[in-house]
């Protein structure tokens, strides 16, 4: 097992998830629920399942498309979405 990959992945996902809509939704559920353990289990299970789907899909895609192209595509998509948010931030 590659602990460097584990720690890097943990760090990046942890930082990316801080303050996002998933965390805010979980916070809202915890505020409304009497069973915070159930909210934690539901939230953690959802994150595990989405991570599993991402790993399976990423593994399948990497067999069809070279890794370099995937990185370029993902980076380009992040830049385009960031520009979209800047340009259309006040549009309703």
22 within a domain of the structure (yes/no):
yes
Question: How many Cα atoms occupy the beta-carbon half-sphere of 27 within 13 Å?
Answer: 8
Per the domain annotation, does 92 fall within a domain?
no
Q: Domain range holding 76?
A: 3-87
- Residue 16 DSSP symbol: H
Q: Is residue 78 part of a domain?
A: yes
pTM (whole model) above 0.75? no
What is the full DSSP assignment across 35-55?
Answer: -HHHHHHHHHHHHHHHHHHHH
Per residue of the chain (92 residues), give pLDDT as tens.
899 999 999 998 888 888 888 889 999 999 999 999 999 999 999 999 999 999 999 999 999 999 999 999 999 998 998 899 888 876 55
Q: Assess if residue 76 is contained within a domain.
A: yes
Q: Is residue 43 part of a domain?
A: yes
Count the domains in the chain: 1
């Amino acid at each position: 097992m590659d602990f460097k990959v584990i720690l890097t992945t943990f760090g990046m996902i942890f930082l990316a998830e801080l303050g996002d809509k998933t965390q805010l939704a979980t916070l809202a559920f915890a505020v409304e629920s009497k069973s915070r353990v159930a909210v934690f289990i539901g939230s953690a299970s959802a994150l595990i399942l989405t991570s599993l789907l991402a790993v399976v899909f990423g593994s399948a895609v990497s067999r069809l498309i070279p890794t370099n192209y995937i990185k370029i595509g993902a980076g380009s998509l992040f830049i385009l979405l960031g520009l979209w948010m800047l340009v259309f931030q006040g549009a309703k």
